[in-house]
Amino acid sequence: MNPLNKIIFLSAFLASGFLLILLSCALFNNWKPLWVIGIFLVAPLPNIIAQSVENHRDDFLTFSNDHGNAPSALKEFCQHATGFLIVSGIALPLTFYHSHLIELGATLMSIIGGLIVYSAIIVFIWFFSVEEEENDDFNF
């Protein structure tokens, strides 16, 4: 698939998620579900940071034979933080609905829109991640 087609598809997918969240706010005249955008935009950041740190870590003095297959404490903490943010992004509109701050339609639209935004970000990272080969310098 052409990279330009990927970007166009993902931008349309991301725009539909933002549209659902904004419509959940505008149609019901209540802007509290807008917090979902912030939560789902921040949710993949801990995993991105942990992956970046793990990729640039030097394994020279680790004395480990598993070559980095065991997850580190940082990676596990970042996965926990990402999971917490995803659950918070789903639970916040449900809590608002339970507290009678927003209506059922706004709740469903904001949850679905938030999941679309998060999945678009994850698919974007997956499409454009480049695996580095170890012997790339020598063309083996």
Q: Which two tokens stand for residue 86?
A: 């995803």
pLDDT tens per residue, range 86-115: 999 999 999 999 999 999 999 999 999 999
Q: Give the Å distances, CA to CA, from 131 to 27, 62, 134.
A: 44, 23, 10
End-to-end CA distance of the chain: 26
Task: Decide: helix, strand or coil at residue 8.
Answer: helix
CB atoms under 10 Å from CB of 74, counted, come to 14
Return the pLDDT at 127: 85
Q: Which two tokens stand for residue 96?
A: 């608002």
- Confirm if 2 and 128 have CB atoms less than 8 A apart: no
pTM recorded for the entire structure: 0.81
Nearest-angstrom CA–CA distance, 118 and 13? 10
Least confident stretch, 2-6, 7-11, 117-121: 2-6
Domain range summary for the chain, segments of one domain joined by +: 3-56+70-127
